[in-house]
Structures are given as C-alpha cells and as structure tokens.
Structure 1
Amino acid sequence: MGKRRIKHVTVIGSGIMGSGIACHFANIGCEVLLLDIVPRELTDKEKAKGLTLEDKAVRNRMVNDNLAAAIKSKPAPLYNKAFANRISTGNLEDDLKKISNTDWVIEVVVERLDIKKSVFEQIEKYRKPGTLITSNTSGIPIGFMNEGRSEDFQKHFAVTHFFNPPRYLKLFEVVPGPNCDPSVTDFLMEYGEKYLGKTSVLAKDTPAFIGNRIGIFSIQSLFHTVKEMGLTVTEVDKLTGPVIGRAKSATFRTVDVVGLDTLVHVANGVYENCPQDEHRDTFKLPDFISTMMENKWLGSKTGQGFYKKSVSNEGKKEILALDLDTLEYVKQPRAKFATLELTKTIDNVADRFPVLIKGKDKAGEFYRKSFASLFAYVQHRIPEISDELYRIDDAMSAGFGWEHGPYQVWDAVGVAKGVELMKAIGKEPAAWVTEMLEKGYDSFYTVRDGATYYYSIPDKDYVKKPGQDGFIILDNLRAQAPVFKNSGVTVHDIGDGILNVEFTSKMNSIGGDVLAGLNKAIDIAEDRFDGLVVANNGANFSVGANIGMIFMMAVEQEYDELNMAIKQFQNTVMRLRYSSIPTVVAPHQMTLGGGCEITMHSDMAVASSETYIGLVEFGVGVIPGGGGSKEMALRASDTFEKNDVELNRLQEYFLTVGMAKVATSAYEATT
C-alpha cells in the first residue's frame, strides 16, 4: 500500500462535537461530508411551507441546523467562514453510500453501544477496504464496538477522541482497537500532530482513557477536599488557577462551562467500570453535587451552577457563588492567602510549587493534601492507562490546559518530598517509585544534549521521549549557556548557524531591554551567524509594548524620552527588515501591538494557526507608533491603481488600525 493521504473525511453525527470536528478538518483543507439522521416529524414552519418528510430540506434539516449553529458559535470553529464551503451535508438514509469515496469515517453519534453498532453495520455496506474508521467515544470499550465487524474493518478501527471545542483544545487521544494494525495507529498519531495541530496521546482502552480519568479524579478529589477543609468556591478557584499554571476558570468555573452533567457522567462511568481503582470512592458524588444535579444547576447551560449572575438591590450586576454548606448563592469575599503572596515575585510556575507546599496557612495545607492525592493516584495508573508517564503529563497539558502535568508537578516539589506528602495523608508510594529513588533516580524527567528523557518503569532507566527530533525545544536549551541574555531576552544558538531570540519579560511585553536584546542579537547574527529567529514558548508571543511605561512618560511630560523610546522601536523593526541576515518571526496566540509590528517587519512570518494578531493601540487611545501605521500604508499602496481615488484602499487599511481589529486566526491575518 502507498502512502496514506487524507483528502476527504466523513463525519457521522452533527452535534456539537461532530460539527466541530467537521469544521476543523475543513480548516486544514479537507473536503468533509457531514451526516446525521432523518427527522421523523415536520416542524410547524415546514408544515406552513407545505413541505413533506420526503423533501430534501426536511431530510437534511437536522444536519444543516446543527452545522449552521456551530458556524455561528463562539469561539468560532472555522479559521474563516468561507471554509464552510468545504463541508457538504446529508443524511444517513440517502447519503451513506457516498462514504465509498471517503478516506476516513469518524463516528460521533450518541454514546449508546446499540446505536453505534447499528451505524457501523451500515458503514460496512459501503465502506471501501482500507478506509480508516474511528469513533469519538469517550466511554464505550472498543472491543464491544468491534464485535461482528469484518477483519478489514477491525484492522482500521480505533478511537480518536477529540476534546471540545475541537479547534482549540489540543488533546487528541488515539486508542487502537484490539485488532488495529500498528501502521494505522502510527498514522493517526502522526496525523494528529502534523496536520490537526494536536498533541497526540496514545491511550489504552480503559474507562475515560487518560485525560478524563486523571482530570475528573482531580476535580472529584477537590470536591471532597473543599468540604473537609471548609473552603469556599471562590477560594478553591483562586488556589487552582493561574498561580499553579492552570486556566483562569480554575476548577468550579471550568465545571460550569463544561457542564456539571458531563462531569457526573464521566465520574459515574469510572466508579461503575473501575472496581479495582484504589481511589474508587473519590468518584462517588458528594451530597452537594447530587443536589445540584436534582435542581438542574448544571452551569452555564442552565444559567446557574457553582456561580450565578444576579442583580443587586441597587441594580448592579454581580456574580454570586454557591455556598456548599447552605446551597444558597451568596456574595463571597475576594480570596486572599498569605502563601499566595509569597509567590507573586516568582514568574516561573514550576518554581512556585516548593513554596506553595510549605505554606503555614490553609492554602499550604490545601496544596499539600491535593498534590499528595494527585501523586498517589497517578503513580498507580501506570501501566493501567498508559505505559509511559509522559503521556499522562501530555494529556493533562493538552486536554485540561495544565502548564505542568502531575509528574512534572511532582518533579518540581521533589520526588522524595512528594512521597513524604503522600505518607502524611496515609498513602504509600508505589513499588516502582520506591525502587526508582533507591537506585538514585531523583526525578521523573531529565534533559540530556538538548532532549527530554523520562523515567521508563520497564527499563528502570531514563529513555528519550519520542517525537523531539523534528523540533527545537527552547526549554531543553536552558542547560547550555546563552549567547546573550538580559532581563528582557535570552538569545540561544539553536544550531545550523541560527540564533533564536526569546522574550523573557512579563507577558513578553516589549520594553527597552527587549529592544536592546533584539538589536544585540542582530549584531551577533550579522557577525557570525546565518539567520535570526524570534520565537518563544510563552502562553502568548507578546502582548505588545510596555504601555505602562509609555503612560508614565506622558504623565510626567517626558516627551524627549518618549520620542527616543518610539524612535528606538522604529529603528529596531527596520533593522529586522533590512538586516544582512534573514529574519523569521514565529508568532502564536496573542500577538498584539508591538508584537504585531515586529512580526510585520520580519523577512518571513511562520505563524501558529491560533495566532490572534493586530494593532490594538487605538484601544488605549494611542496611534501605533512602532512602524505598524507606516506598514499598513505601505501595504495599501501595493494595491493602488492609476486614478485610484474612489476605492480609497488606504481608508480600508487604516480602519483596521482605527478599530483596533485583531485577527481570529493566522489565516484571517493574511487575508
């Protein structure tokens, strides 16, 4: 068989997940067929139009309505709305035969085994041999879905579990069926990374796989801890948010967004299907969760969950939080802990963990208990849910947005210290952890020659983490001395005659040190290197110039200094453009203001698909002065034609600046 190419994908099931998956395949250039069931009844509107159940508009109503709702949803599932043209729709009765021309069929129907098996039986009638067939299930064992299928079907069958929303969440769990050909598994893993832009994680056919198994345990564990310690909803969200490298929505806000019913469904599934799980009781629902389910306080979808929007007696909008003892919504005071104050000056999240567990207040106690529970749980999930510990960390980072997975957190506090924390709550270390420490291995990860190695339990030694050879990982270069460093940048030799400039300022904002560092890097590169890359692995590429500094200069009327700062910025971006060596900027996520201007002046921009870039200075009342306004005028002039007055293309470009527009994807930024 030749090299497998994916040009056409069929998605069966057009609900939120199905439509989202269809949109993401359209994003990467695939033609997509989206199918769903035929409605059994006419709507009042259809009756008024005189339509019948045989009309195509009626037969495709469900799939068309679901896709239209997905395209309108926020955040947008498509890089550009025009990509919807790559998606055609149909129904399972009239159009299933079209899968004979597809390369990959993805089933995303309701989580019922009988329905899935029925769909697979129909697929077998039309599917050509060799076509990939995967399910997006998150809970039904593959062996059950495989029953009765042909040898070729089973050979090409696996679970490909996307997380919602499919465009944005990076976890892509691949779970091969019992008879799945290893080459199919390898292809799916590579395709997820290379084309879908995901973190592919190989998982085993166990309840909830990796991401949800660990993620739901972590949340359920917090549910029990919060009651034991008498913490409030807002306190827990303060403790489990950005301070430990997790999303601003932290724990309870995240549950509100995802839906309490979704969490309960997964927790119940693990409790029922994992009788040997030593922490099985953690998946039992606390009384307050059961009451919330009965009251349908499911979160955003029902208007209230752990939080509820309200209007005060004075008419002010406010957000109330659920008191877990009284189950009434109350205004909770801002959460403050002395331990958290100690971490305010620590920018690197990993360096905060040793400080947090030493806290002498309730926060310190909370971290000791919650981390100990997490360590005790993940140590026994190998080899149950994964043979390699790094896959657990990858799954939690990509699926739940944790900056550091469980084993990385454990490394940060120290493996021996983690064991001490576990023993304090009555949990013993797994035999392999004890053996590892006895052999003198004191961390789960190490870096050698610019590559990450992980502790392999079967090998009882460090093994190189796969998939690194095609990448330059800046974190792995920390051990070697930088070519240049100041408080704003670190400049590394990344091999092949190339320098990399990494911003290290807070939120990668651009101030004097960053500009000085960029100029120094260009000097060094022009002297003895072949090229310069500006890239970093921060949460965002750059939030722009240090507006606070500019504001203070204006307030103090230090206009000479202000003019000098602007001139320095302008000179720096022009040096990027006219340097004697090629310059490449690799933006990702927020690339605002000055970050945008640096990108615009490079010889080449290699952008992540999720790049939100724009000149946003007008939003704070100033005109882009670092070359962005000039560049927009220059780009407008490229399209000028003779006597081009009425079209006034310059106005169109300057409206983009004046309205502080931000592109919602790299694709949109180029169009």
Structure 2
Amino acid sequence: MMNRHIKKVAILGSGVMGSRIACHFANVGCEVLLLDILPKEPNDTEKSKGLTLESKAVRNRIVNEALQFALTSNPSPIYRKSFASRIQTGNFEDDMAKIAEVDWIIEVVIERLDIKQQVFANVEKFRKPGTLISTNTSGIPIHLMLDGRSEDFKKHFAGTHFFNPPRYLPLLEIIPTKETAPEIIDFYMSFGSKILGKKTVLCKDTPAFIANRVGVYSIMALFHTVEEMDLTIEEVDKLTGPVLGRPKSATFRTCDVVGLDTLVHVANGLKENCPNDEENALFEVPSFVQKMVDNNWLGSKTKQGFFKKTTDTDGKKVYLALNLKTMEYEPSKKVSFPTLELTKAIDDLEQRTKMLFMGMDKAGEFYRKTFGGLFAYVTNRIPEISDDLYKIDDALKAGFGWELGPFETWDILGFKQGKELVEKAGKKLPAWVDEMEASGFTAFYKTENGKRLYYNQQSKSYEIIPGTENLVSLQALRASNKVWGNSDTTLVDLGDGILNLEFHTKMNTIGGGVIEGINKSIELAEKEYKGLVISNTGANFSAGANVGMIFMMAAEQDYDELNFAVKTFQDTMMRVRYSNIPVIVAPHNMALGGGCELSMHSDKVVAHAELYMGLVEFGVGLIPGGGGSKEFAKRFSEELKEGDIKINRLRERFLSIGQAKVSTSAYEAFDLGYLRTGTDEVVVSREYQLTRAKAAALELANKGYIAPKREKNITVLGQEGLGIIYVGANSMKSGHYMSEHDQVISEKLGWVMCGGDLSENTLVSEQYLLDLERKAFVELCQQRKTLERLESLVKSGKILRN
C-alpha cells in the first residue's frame, strides 16, 4: 500500500460543523480550503459601500462570516489564534477548481440528499483521481450518495461523521460503503486516531450509525420513563450527570444544547427507517416534546427549551425549568436522593456505580429500570449496527462523553445482575448472550498480559481490541503490574524499565500522599529502573496543591508546619528535576498550580493538546510556592539575549502568573511560558499520549541520561526589575484594575522574580530563589485577606476578589 500524506484539505460547507472541522484540520497542521455558496445579493452594508455581486467580499461573505463566528465562539475551535491563517476561504463558483490540488475533500453541506448529490457532481468535474472524498452526514445512508459517481470516486468515498464540537468531542465514525477500498478504510481509521486525535469507530451504513442510534434511543427511553415514574427534569439531570460518570449537561440540558428540532428529526428518521427495531415504538415523539417544538422552544438556539435563563425584578439571573405536567416554567429546584447522598464520598466511579444500583429509593429504581432497557437494546444491536460490542461502548463514550459504556457498566454490576435487570424490565436478550454464558464466559471484557480483550460473539472467544496492540494502557496494566502504592497514588510498571506514577485523589490534587508517592517512585526508579512517567487516567491531570490543607495550617497559625510543608513540596519538585533518571510528565485537561509546577520541573512534558495549564495561586491570595515563581525567574534568565529589552520580557513572564493566566490548549501553554519550545511536545491523541511518554523516557534513558547540574548562575534584575513591577502594580491599583491586596501579592511575586532588593543585575542560585519564594508564600498566608480567599475556595469553590 502506498504512503498517503494529507497536507491540504477542502471542506465544502462552512456551517457550524464545516467551519469547526476546518479549524480542527488547521489545528493539526493541514492547509484548509473552506468553501460555501454565493449570497443571492449584496446586503445593505455592502450596497452602501457600492459593492456588487461581482465583488469578492460579497461573493465570500457567507463563508467568511461563518469562519469568523466559529473563531470567536467559546470554547474556541482552534488551538492557537495564529493557526487560523492555515484556512483559506472561497465559494463554490469561483474556487471549486482549487479542489484539484487537495488530498482530501469533505462535504459538510445541508442534510438533503439532492443537494449533496449536486455538490458531488460538481466535485467530479475537478477532483483528481486518487483524492479522498467523504461526507459528514449524520443520518443519510452513505450508499445513496454514490448514484452516478465514477469508480474512482466510489473507491475513495466513505462517511466521516464528526461530533460537535469537533475539537472537543473525540468521536469520529467511519462509515464505508461496499465500494470503499479496504486500504482507504484503514487510512481513514489510522489518520483519524493518530493525526486528528479521534476515537475512530468503524460503523455499518445503518440509520444514525452507532452513537446516535443508541444515544437517541437512550434519550427517547428517558422521555418515556419521566412520564412513567413521575420525575422532574431536574431529577433526571441529577441522576444522569456526573454521578454516573456523564457530562454535567446530563440529559435535558444536552437536549437543549443539541436542539430539540435536531433530536426530533433523528428520532423520526429512526422510527421510519428501523421498522424491525424491537423498540421502534419508543422513537414516537412524546406529546410534551411535540408541544415544545410547536412552541419553538428548541433549546439554546431559541433561548428556551427544557431550561430557560431569565432575570428577576432586581436584574439577577434566574434559572427556570419546564414543568412537564403544566408546561409552565418554574424556578429550578435543588434535588436530592438518599442514594446519591450515600455515594457522595465515593470518588471511584466503579464503586459508586455499584452503590447506585443498590439504592432502595426512587434513584435506585430509576437506574435498574433504565439500564435493564439499555442492556437489552445494545445487545440486540449486534450484529445489526456493529459486529463488535467494544465499538458501541467506544462510540457512546467518545460521542456523548460517558465515562463507562453500557457493556462496561454491565461488567461492573456482574453478568447475572445485568441479566436480571433485563428480565425485570420485561425485555429479551439475543441468543448470543445465552451462548456466551453457556460457554462459561461471564464478562464482556478482560485484561491479559497488559492488554484489554473483548468478547467476540462471532469467534466465541476473547480478542485484543484492534488498534490497541501497540498502545500502553494503564487501565490494562494496573491490576497485574502494580509495583507500589499508597492511598493517593499507584506506581505501575509499564515494561522496558519505565514506571508510571498516577494520582487518584479528588481532582488529583497534590497533598502529603502524592508527595510521598513522587519521592518513592523516584527512589525506586533510581535503584532498579530506567525512567519514570507521571500520568493518570482521571478527568484532569491535577488541580494543584491541596488548598484545604494550606488553609487549615494558615488558619491555625501553624507557620512552622506550613513552612515545612512548602519546603517539602519544593524539595520534591527539585528531586523531580535533578533525579538520576529521566522524569516525563504527561498532563491533560487541567494542570493547575502544583500540577503545572510538577510539569515545569520534568525533563520533558508530553502534553495532550487539550491542556488547560497555569499558575493560578494569585486567585487565592498567594504566589506559586512549589518552585513555580523560581522557575519563571530561571526561564526569564535563560531567555535573556544580548540587546534584549529585558523589561518587556520580564513583564510578559510576570503577567502569566500575576494574571493567573491559564492556557486554552497545549500550544498556548508555550506562549505563556509554561511549556518549553524545543523540549516539550504535544500529542493530539489522548489514547496515544502514554505510549509516547514512555517512548520519550526510554529515548532519554538509552542515550545515557545524566542528571542536570543545579543552577547557580541565574540572572535576576534586582531593583531595576522591582521598580518596574512596583510602578506597574501601583498604576493598576490606581486604575481600579486590582485591589489593594492584589497589589501586595504582585509586589511579593516581583520580589521573588527579581531576586529581592539587589542594587544591580546579579547571579543567584535556584536555592536562593526557592527560599525567597517560600518566605513570600508563608508571609502571604499570614494576611487576613489571603485567608478569606482560601476559605472562600475551600468552602464554596468560588474565587473571592477582596
């Protein structure tokens, strides 16, 4: 098979999906040609400027406005603002010929078969043979689009269904037709996962493919359960949100975001196109949903759906929820169930899930009822929508943000209990489940030799999940390869002499147990291994130091104890930096405060592209105290070049911490100074991140790793820098941009970064800066306003500005 390289991509259609898919291809380094239709005539603004339909600005208005709207939306579809320059815009009439130069053409126009066929007929005029061509349809059968197309077109064509927003939702469904060449299917699967960072799932050309078929079934089943069990929409969202390992938007808020019209459209399509589906009747739209559609209460796009945001007479925001019986909006109510209260303290999702199903209240009943139906539904979809059960789990996890797929949940509950739930729900299981049990198999997944296996109902045996053969998986290694652990951390042997330390505290915060884990893992690695990776499978890498612990010590005025705790943290970070083995940190999502400091002291960071990294201590009235302030002073010194305008450079570095800036992607973390150009790297695939981090540790070890020397020649600016920082802080305070207390913190940070009150530029050691940093940190903890900020965060989770 010849090598295929994707340098340039054409996206046809610049709507919500098209413009955002264009941004994601730009994110990974591709050049993008984004095209859309011509407007029918100039608008009033254009006419007032004397522009006509011949003017380029008018001809490209639709595409340019769509792209601008995407680029200014929040959260941003682009990793770094400058990446938008990789996207060129145009229109179907003037620029279609340019698709002859691209490597892949993706159609993202309106969901109408006739329009898609017109676009493809036009594409055939200009597409060069061998170019990939795909459609982002979410519902139209893929094979119907091939009418009248050439053999070469058919061979290279497939469905590539991205989920919105394409940057953040990892699912990419690949739907080949009978005509798609096998090597082309393989290419789509591989490029999607390695380069675009997606969870690629191979689907059959069945209505709504995999994720939406099961996801929409799940939502429609819930609509009916709400009526049967007399539940409110707030109750259902509480039961189907984070407690179950699902997004905060849960069920009804998700419907509002997606749009009720879209949901009804898919449900109607399934009702019509799946006559043999045993749950066909469930796709009937309930009367309350139909009424909402008739009223144009479609969700976020019409400013009201199941929820509505409004303001009261005092101008305060009020959240209203729809009462499904009266169809009136009422103030949203807090919800509580005894079962949920019992599981509050359980962080481990598997343990919590078991408890939820044991509940003797309405919540427990709800879980048993809904999952009985779900287990039956997914087993009956094999082999209709997929030959393999793991694809159904993968699609729901990556497309709907579920942490556990249906088959994984069933495994947690136990095979027998899952079957009982199905029977109680009055549903039937397919023959293959009974055959599986008769053969003595009572789990859908198992791990063996560090690999995850699934039950293949065709071969009636366990097989490695395809595509994971060469991936390093903590989930698969944890049970068999544990080397050491305490209540907050686990040390796992990844093979080839590399260890992995993972945290499992709440939000992966760093307290005494994690510090012990870091020191122990370095000690063990130095004795018997080649290197260490620090990574975990939590929702976030680390939300930083344990603020509650700092607050307690500060509130009790136990300053010696606090000083000792900060010194222990600093010493641990320095141990990471100067150990005799390479230490690689692989952060993802939030890496704040101490999580950021840990990354900054590693030999190399292998970051996931979705990285929200920052030194945010300022918000709780402190400065970074785990080596972060020192590290910024050190990096400032390393960046100083002859003739550099030192003060501008110092200001940039100072503001990253002083404004508690958090990167919106790993690429932005380089701009803010948290990641190092030339040393640290970014991986777009979360699934591949640990494999790459392990390889990076081995590369450094096999080169012959020598620990770096402790830094003694760091240039600090002393009074020259302090003057600038003090003047800057004073003017910010005078202009009411910061409070008096913010000014105090700014001056403390400046004191550390400039090396204190030195009369000239001076060379100092790292230890000198660490001592200054720790002293400033402890002094700030003695300030009443810092205590108030710490207390606010600990008790309410809110940042206080005082």
Determine if the TM-score, normalized by the shorter chain, exceeds 0.5.
yes
Partners of 2:663 and 2:481 in 1: CA distance: 37
Asked if 1 retains the 8 angstrom alpha-carbon contact of 2:63 and 2:91, the reply is yes
Correspondence list, 1:217-228, <5 A: 217-228=217-228
- Give the letter for the 2:432 counterpart: W
* SS of structure 1 residue aligned to 2:377: helix
| 1:645, distance to aligned residue in structure 2 (A) | 5.9
* SS of structure 2 residue aligned to 1:277: coil
Once structures 1 and 2 are overlaid, which stretch shifts more, 295-304 or 392-401? 295-304
| 1:429, distance to aligned residue in structure 2 (A) | 1.8
* SS of structure 1 residue aligned to 2:419: helix
| 1:646, distance to aligned residue in structure 2 (A) | 6.3
Cα distance change on mapping 1:30 and 1:644 into 2, 3 Å? closer
Q: Which residue of 1 aligns with 2:258?
A: 258
Correspondence list, 1:426-441, <5 A: 426-441=426-441
The root-mean-square deviation of aligned C-alpha atoms, in Å, is 1.2
| 1:470, distance to aligned residue in structure 2 (A) | 2.3
Asked if 2 retains the 8 angstrom alpha-carbon contact of 1:35 and 1:90, the reply is yes
Asked if 2 retains the 8 angstrom alpha-carbon contact of 1:588 and 1:607, the reply is yes
**2:519 aligned with 1:519:** yes
Partners of 1:468 and 1:150 in 2: CA distance: 35
| 1:314, distance to aligned residue in structure 2 (A) | 5.1
**2:581 aligned with 1:564:** no
Q: After superposition, what is the alpha-carbon deviation per residue over 1:563-616, rounded to whole angstroms, capped at 9, x for unaligned?
A: 111101111111111111111000000010000000000000000000110001
Partners of 1:122 and 1:432 in 2: CA distance: 46
Q: Which residue of 2 aligns with 1:661?
A: 661
Q: Which residue of 2 aligns with 1:163?
A: 163
* SS of structure 1 residue aligned to 2:540: coil
- Give the letter for the 1:308 counterpart: K
| 1:502, distance to aligned residue in structure 2 (A) | 0.6
Q: After superposition, what is the alpha-carbon deviation per residue over 1:286-330, rounded to whole angstroms, capped at 9, x for unaligned?
A: 111001001111111111111111233454322111101001111
Q: Which residue of 2 aligns with 1:46?
A: 46
- Give the letter for the 2:595 counterpart: G
Q: Which residue of 2 aligns with 1:277?
A: 277
Asked if 2 retains the 8 angstrom alpha-carbon contact of 1:142 and 1:178, the reply is no
Partners of 1:462 and 1:187 in 2: CA distance: 26
- Give the letter for the 1:87 counterpart: I
Q: Which residue of 1 aligns with 2:231?
A: 231
Once structures 1 and 2 are overlaid, which stretch shifts more, 11-20 or 263-272? 263-272
| 1:640, distance to aligned residue in structure 2 (A) | 2.0
Partners of 1:313 and 1:171 in 2: CA distance: 44
- Give the letter for the 1:24 counterpart: H
Q: Which residue of 1 aligns with 2:487?
A: 487
**2:272 aligned with 1:267:** no
Partners of 1:645 and 1:99 in 2: CA distance: 46
Q: After superposition, what is the alpha-carbon deviation per residue over 1:120-165, rounded to whole angstroms, capped at 9, x for unaligned?
A: 0011111111100000001111111011100000000000000011
Asked if 2 retains the 8 angstrom alpha-carbon contact of 1:416 and 1:437, the reply is no
Partners of 1:564 and 1:645 in 2: CA distance: 38
Answer 1 or 2: higher relative contact order, Cα 8 Å, separation at least 6: 2
**2:613 aligned with 1:613:** yes
Asked if 1 retains the 8 angstrom alpha-carbon contact of 2:319 and 2:332, the reply is no
Q: Which residue of 2 aligns with 1:400?
A: 400
* SS of structure 1 residue aligned to 2:179: coil
Partners of 1:299 and 1:55 in 2: CA distance: 37
* SS of structure 1 residue aligned to 2:462: strand
Partners of 2:360 and 2:67 in 1: CA distance: 53
Mark the structure with the bigger radius of gyration.
Answer: 2
- Give the letter for the 1:354 counterpart: K
Q: After superposition, what is the alpha-carbon deviation per residue over 1:420-444, rounded to whole angstroms, capped at 9, x for unaligned?
A: 1111121122111111112211111
Partners of 1:489 and 1:594 in 2: CA distance: 16
**2:109 aligned with 1:109:** yes
Q: Which residue of 2 aligns with 1:182?
A: 182
Correspondence list, 1:374-413, <5 A: 374-413=374-413
Q: Which residue of 2 aligns with 1:350?
A: 350
Once structures 1 and 2 are overlaid, which stretch shifts more, 87-96 or 479-488? 479-488
- Give the letter for the 1:471 counterpart: L
Asked if 2 retains the 8 angstrom alpha-carbon contact of 1:159 and 1:175, the reply is yes
Q: Which residue of 1 aligns with 2:364?
A: 364
Cα distance change on mapping 1:636 and 1:363 into 2, 3 Å? same
**2:554 aligned with 1:554:** yes
Partners of 1:539 and 1:5 in 2: CA distance: 33
- Give the letter for the 2:618 counterpart: F
- Give the letter for the 2:635 counterpart: R
Correspondence list, 1:314-333, <5 A: 315-333=315-333
Partners of 1:646 and 1:509 in 2: CA distance: 35
Partners of 2:529 and 2:580 in 1: CA distance: 11
**2:631 aligned with 1:631:** yes
Partners of 2:399 and 2:298 in 1: CA distance: 21
- Give the letter for the 2:579 counterpart: S
Asked if 2 retains the 8 angstrom alpha-carbon contact of 1:136 and 1:162, the reply is yes
| 1:413, distance to aligned residue in structure 2 (A) | 1.2
Alignment gaps of 5+ in structure 1? none
| Greater than 3 Å deviation, 4+ residue runs | 312-316, 641-648
Once structures 1 and 2 are overlaid, which stretch shifts more, 135-144 or 154-163? 135-144
Identical-residue share of aligned pairs (%): 61
Once structures 1 and 2 are overlaid, which stretch shifts more, 337-346 or 617-626? 337-346
* SS of structure 1 residue aligned to 2:123: helix
Once structures 1 and 2 are overlaid, which stretch shifts more, 434-443 or 152-161? 434-443
Q: After superposition, what is the alpha-carbon deviation per residue over 1:171-208, rounded to whole angstroms, capped at 9, x for unaligned?
A: 00000022000100000000010000000000000111
Cα distance change on mapping 1:433 and 1:56 into 2, 3 Å? same
* SS of structure 1 residue aligned to 2:99: helix
* SS of structure 2 residue aligned to 1:491: strand
Q: Under a length normalisation based on structure 2, what TM-score does the superposition of the two structures give? A: 0.83
Partners of 1:344 and 1:275 in 2: CA distance: 42
Asked if 1 retains the 8 angstrom alpha-carbon contact of 2:374 and 2:406, the reply is yes
Partners of 2:310 and 2:36 in 1: CA distance: 39
Q: Which residue of 1 aligns with 2:83?
A: 83
Cα distance change on mapping 1:623 and 1:205 into 2, 3 Å? same
Cα distance change on mapping 1:297 and 1:255 into 2, 3 Å? same
Q: Which residue of 2 aligns with 1:30?
A: 30
* SS of structure 1 residue aligned to 2:536: coil
Asked if 1 retains the 8 angstrom alpha-carbon contact of 2:543 and 2:591, the reply is yes
- Give the letter for the 1:362 counterpart: K
- Give the letter for the 2:228 counterpart: E
Q: Which residue of 2 aligns with 1:118?
A: 118
Aligned residues: 671
Partners of 1:502 and 1:184 in 2: CA distance: 38
Q: Under a length normalisation based on structure 1, what TM-score does the superposition of the two structures give? A: 0.99
Asked if 2 retains the 8 angstrom alpha-carbon contact of 1:455 and 1:461, the reply is yes
Cα distance change on mapping 1:648 and 1:315 into 2, 3 Å? closer
Q: Which residue of 1 aligns with 2:577?
A: 577
Partners of 1:551 and 1:256 in 2: CA distance: 39
Q: Which residue of 2 aligns with 1:340?
A: 340
Partners of 2:615 and 2:371 in 1: CA distance: 42
* SS of structure 2 residue aligned to 1:647: helix
Partners of 1:315 and 1:30 in 2: CA distance: 47
Partners of 1:345 and 1:419 in 2: CA distance: 29
* SS of structure 1 residue aligned to 2:609: coil
Q: After superposition, what is the alpha-carbon deviation per residue over 1:225-266, rounded to whole angstroms, capped at 9, x for unaligned?
A: 011101111110110011110001111111111211111111
Q: Which residue of 1 aligns with 2:622?
A: 622
Partners of 1:40 and 1:200 in 2: CA distance: 39
- Give the letter for the 1:54 counterpart: E
* SS of structure 2 residue aligned to 1:158: strand
Partners of 2:342 and 2:440 in 1: CA distance: 32
* SS of structure 1 residue aligned to 2:208: coil
Partners of 2:229 and 2:558 in 1: CA distance: 53
Partners of 1:428 and 1:64 in 2: CA distance: 52
Once structures 1 and 2 are overlaid, which stretch shifts more, 108-117 or 631-640? 631-640
Correspondence list, 1:289-304, <5 A: 289-304=289-304
Asked if 1 retains the 8 angstrom alpha-carbon contact of 2:586 and 2:605, the reply is yes
Q: Which residue of 1 aligns with 2:742?
A: none
Asked if 2 retains the 8 angstrom alpha-carbon contact of 1:339 and 1:361, the reply is yes
| 1:499, distance to aligned residue in structure 2 (A) | 0.9
- Give the letter for the 1:510 counterpart: I
* SS of structure 2 residue aligned to 1:567: helix
